[in-house]
């Protein structure tokens, strides 16, 4: 399966989804003008990955900021991971937040209460 790598820009996060390398990471700020268009390849990749996923992939979120539209998209991504888990795949989330970033910590906690996917919280 081909990796999906999207370089970080001022208003979009770096996205690195590579099953062969075992790297599934979202990092940076998410403020794209058109969130649906920007994240469409991510949803397509996850759809293809979920059909062949093996092992115990950990999806890492190292977001520093995201707007309301991105918040909804992140929830949609997490819901796709929940679908994978419900299909018998061992998938989890590692949610990173800055030492003084209570908002990002709370966002992760809220997501963890909505979806049935194991979350690990990492400060720093």
99: three-class secondary structure by DSSP = coil
54 has a pLDDT exceeding 90:
no
Hey, which CATH number is domain 13-123, 1.10.3470, 3.10.20, 3.30.1490, 3.30.750?
3.30.750
**In this predicted model, what pLDDT tens digit does every residue of 107-118 receive, in sequence order?**
999 999 999 999
Tell me how far apart the alpha carbons of residues 6 and 117 are, in angstroms, rounded to a whole number: 25
* Domain spans, the chain: 13-123
**In this predicted model, what pLDDT tens digit does every residue of 73-120 receive, in sequence order?**
999 999 999 999 999 999 999 999 999 999 999 999 999 999 999 999
The DSSP secondary structure of 34-63, one letter per residue, reads SHHHHHHHHHHHHHHHHHH--S--EEEEEE
């Amino acid at each position: 399966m081909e990796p999906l790598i999207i370089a970080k820009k001022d208003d979009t996060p770096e996205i690195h989804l590579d099953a062969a390398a075992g790297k599934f990471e979202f990092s940076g700020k998410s403020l794209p003008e058109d969130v649906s268009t920007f994240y469409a390849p991510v949803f397509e990749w996850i759809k293809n990955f979920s059909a062949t996923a093996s092992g115990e992939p950990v999806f890492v979120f190292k977001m520093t900021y995201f707007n309301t539209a991105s918040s909804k998209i992140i929830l949609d991504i997490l819901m796709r991971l929940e679908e994978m888990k419900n299909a018998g795949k061992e998938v989890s989330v590692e949610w990173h937040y800055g030492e003084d970033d209570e908002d990002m910590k709370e966002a992760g906690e809220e997501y963890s209460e909505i979806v049935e996917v194991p979350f690990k919280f990492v400060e720093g």
